[in-house]
Structure 1
Amino acid sequence: MKRLLPALLLLSGFCVMPAAHAEKADASKPTNVEADQMQYDDVKQINTFIGNVVLTRGSILMKANKMVVTQDPAGYQFVVMYAAPGTLASFRQKRDGGPDQWIDGQAERIEYDDKNEIMKLFSKARMRRLENGKTTDEVNGEYISYDTRAEFFTVHNTASGDSKPGAGRIKAIIQPRATDTKKAP
């Protein structure tokens, strides 16, 4: 049964990984953005950063060719990152639950909804969990939706967020967890 569950999750088009939430301390940190160019529309509350964009906020690191940040009246931000042709936009964030646990992802386009804490990766999407510098789990597909609060992902074989027969396959690599090797006295 232990080996059947991951197979069933993969066949149904989604993957659930054990909980260890994104680092909560990041929410109270300032956001720093570097880019070659910036355009700001104060009326519409839209910031557009172009060229070698690097965003940092606590342990969060986001990189893209272009980043559009929209802010709603309540102050929540919606971020869309676009990769340069032939490259991928990326993010990396430390996770609560251990001294060296991270989550990272790459895609041609990445959207982040600050209010709902949902990350969506479109086209050539890939996410990895890392512990002590080693990949523990990895998922690949054309679309990944990642709820950072619940640590829940869905992976689909089309960039529209639907899974369609014949549209390609998703791939997940789930590493075995370390077990206690000590023998009871």
Structure 2
Amino acid sequence: MKKLMLAVALCCLGLGVAQAEKADASKPTKIDYDDLQIDDVKQIKTLLGNVVLTRGTLLMKSPKAVVSTDPEGYNLVVLTSTPGTPATFRQKRDGAGDQWVEGEAERIEYSEKTDLVKLFSKAKIRRLEAGRLSDEVDGEFISYDSRKEQFAVKNSVTGESKPGAGRGTMVIQPVQRGPAATTAAAPAASVPPVPGK
């Protein structure tokens, strides 16, 4: 019964999911850091200290990142946290309106080849629409496949569901309908800057 409820919940989360910004795949990857170590033989780069990775609208942050390059030239990025500072990611989604997906975990793996993001240990993913929280899910393991528009949540960091290993939580925000939704969705009027300030 619990598995059925989780499957239904995940289907609900997947409704209306838009793909990640398609243009991101053609953008260069930029990484800022405090310290860098490169092993050209193994094709591994270790970045330390306030690591910030950007690729189009994709933004990833962590205290440490390891980037390995496969023989085809694709990168796998593994971001790790430190106590009190989780690894995070944020990416715009294609589709109407201002839609984003963001997440955090103790470890995040991002495959440039597949656009698959895997979050391990204390994982959370949130969908935002026009700056407001739309849906949120947490668990020990979450994979987010932006190409297939799919999330998978498991109760263990191995990426498998194990009996008695724990439970996840999902929160689906109510949909606003009627005149209040139109008013809430309208952008705030911009105020021109005051000269001299």
Scaled by the length of structure 2, what TM-score is found? 0.82
Please show how residues 72-111 of structure 1 align to structure 2 within 5 Å: 72-111=70-109
| Equivalence map 1:146-165=2 (5 Å) | 146-165=144-163
Offset at 1:166?
2.1
Contact persistence 2:35–2:48 (CA under 8 A): yes
1:99-126 per-position Cα deviation (integer Å, ceiling 9, x unaligned) = 3110000000000112122111000000
Higher relative contact order (CA 8 A, sep 6+): 1
Higher helix share: 2
Please point out which of 10, 23, 26 is paired with 2:6: 10
1:21 partner SS? coil
Between the two proteins, the alignment pairs up a number of residues equal to 175
From the CA coordinates, give the structure whose radius of gyration is larger: 2
CA distance in 2, matches of 1:28, 1:160: 31
Runs of 5+ unmatched residues, structure 1: 1-6
Q: Distance in 1 between matches of 2:74 and 2:140?
A: 27
- Give the CA RMSD over aligned residues: 2.0
Judge conservation of contact 2:9–2:170 (CA < 8 Å) in 1. Answer: no
- Unaligned segments of structure 2, at least 5 residues: 180-197
**SS of the counterpart of 1:39?**
strand
- The answer to whether the aligner puts 1:125 opposite 2:123 as a matched pair is yes
Distance 2:134 2:65 in 1: 29
TM-score (norm 1): 0.87
Aligned equivalents of 1:13, 1:50: Cα separation in 2? 37
Task: Please give the secondary structure, in 2, of the residue aligned with 1:26.
Answer: helix
Looking at structure 2, the residues matched to 20 and 31 of structure 1 have their Cα atoms a distance apart, in angstroms, of: 22
Say if 1:13 and 1:154, in contact at 8 Å, map to a contact too. Answer: no
In 2: Cα distance, 1:177 partner to 1:13 partner: 16
Runs of 4+ in 1 over 4 A off after TM superposition: 11-16, 178-181
Q: Tell whether the 8 Å contact from 1:13 to 1:170 is kept in structure 2 after alignment.
A: no
